[in-house]
């Protein structure tokens, strides 16, 4: 994969980066055989909502044991009820000090020449019946980091266009987002990713059944739903002159 126009070549330090990523591990992390890599990305739902508070230190211990990565990145998902979504600084400090991991909540991290932006939010699953609002969906109690659609739109509109690797818990609508109740992805996220930001990777989870790597006609982004087990990606950065030299040989 070649570096696209959003990358800043001045900050590029590597020609190959191995990304290892997983989401929706739901306390099954010890069953994974974690490959070597440069950057580990955890895309939310690493606890279970009922026990989230006591699950968190266990996940931190696991992250601490993963010394094979140069950089570790984590975002929250709808099961992370044990995290206070309003105390971003406390969460950042906790992950950095306890397991040397970058906690991203609507924030950019630039490492190894790539801009990684993380956002944990997903559209609130609710039904407006007269004056009564009912939460719907099989996971109605796992609603950490949810927001109404108008707020979700604003959140995703603020994803910087310099983003190379976008990490969200929510899928974009229609791309690996099918669950029993139907599509659970965000339309606002789909619009921002495909029409404005165009990162080279969009990593997410949330829809366990949507796992897979997808390309969409007319869009340069590779979509990776990494729910339930790790995905390993080797990004190889070539510049045009390298390609031309090879052709000349
Ligand atoms: Zn989820």
CA of 181 to the centre of ligand 1 (A): 14
Of 175, 196, 178, 198, the residue nearest 187 (C-alpha): 175
**pLDDT tens digit sequence for 3-25:** 444 444 444 445 899 999 999 99
CA of 78 to the centre of ligand 1 (A): 5
The pTM of this model reads 0.89
Q: Do residues 144 and 81 touch, judged by C-beta distance below 8 A?
A: yes
* Half-sphere exposure in the Cβ direction for 55 (13 Å, CA): 20
In the reported structure, the alpha carbon of residue 79 is separated from the centroid of ligand 1 by a whole-number distance in angstroms of 6
242 Cα–ligand 1 center, Å: 41
pLDDT tens for each residue of 166-221: 999 999 999 999 988 789 999 999 999 999 999 999 999 999 999 999 999 999 99
Ligand 1 centroid from CA 24, angstroms:
7
CA distance 214 to 149: 25
Q: How far is the CA of 145 from the centre of ligand 1 (A)?
A: 10
Compute, in angstroms, the gap from residue 247 CA to the centroid of ligand 1.
46
Distance CA 164, CA 14 (A): 15
Domain boundaries, the chain: 9-248
Sequence-separated (6 or more) residues with CB below 8 Å from residue 222: 1, 200, 201, 202, 213, 214, 215
Instruction: For residue 43, give the DSSP letter.
Output: E
Residue of 18, 19, 22 whose CA lies nearest to 33: 22
Span from the CA of 30 to the centroid of ligand 1 (angstroms): 19
| C-alpha of residue 77 to centroid of ligand 1, in Å | 5
CA of 121 to the centre of ligand 1 (A): 10
Stretch 86-112: mean pLDDT, rounded?
Answer: 98
Give the architecture-level CATH label for domain 9-248: 4-Layer Sandwich (3.60)
Mean of pLDDT values over 94-99: 98
For ligand 1, the distance from its centroid to the CA atom of residue 73, given in whole angstroms, is: 17
Calpha distance 206→191 (Å, rounded): 19
User: Each residue of 75-85: pLDDT tens digit?
Assistant: 999 999 999 99
């Amino acid at each position: 994969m070649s570096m696209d126009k959003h990358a800043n070549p001045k900050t590029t330090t590597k020609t190959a980066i191995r990304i290892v990523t997983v989401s929706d591990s739901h306390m099954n992390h010890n069953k994974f055989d974690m490959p070597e890599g440069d950057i580990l990305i955890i895309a939310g739902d690493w606890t279970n909502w009922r026990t989230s508070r006591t699950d968190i230190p266990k996940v931190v211990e696991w992250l601490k044991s993963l010394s094979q990565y140069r950089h570790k990145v984590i975002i929250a998902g709808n099961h992370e009820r044990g995290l206070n979504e309003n105390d971003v600084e406390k969460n950042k400090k906790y992950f950095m000090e306890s397991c040397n991991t970058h906690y991203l909540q609507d924030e950019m991290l630039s490492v190894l020449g790539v801009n990684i932006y993380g956002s944990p939010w997903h559209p609130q699953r609710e039904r407006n019946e007269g004056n009564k609002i009912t939460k719907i969906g099989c996971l109605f109690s796992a609603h950490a980091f949810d927001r109404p659609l108008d707020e979700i739109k604003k959140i995703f509109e603020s994803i910087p266009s310099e983003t190379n690797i976008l990490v969200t818990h929510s899928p974009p609508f229609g791309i690996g987002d099918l669950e029993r109740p139907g599509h659970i992805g965000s339309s606002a996220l789909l619009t921002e990713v495909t029409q404005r930001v165009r990162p080279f990777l969009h990593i997410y989870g949330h829809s366990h059944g949507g796992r897979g790597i997808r390309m969409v006609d007319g869009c340069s982004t590779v979509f990776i739903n990494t729910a339930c087990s790790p995905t390993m990606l080797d990004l190889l950065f070539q510049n045009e002159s390298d390609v031309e030299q090879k052709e000349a040989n």
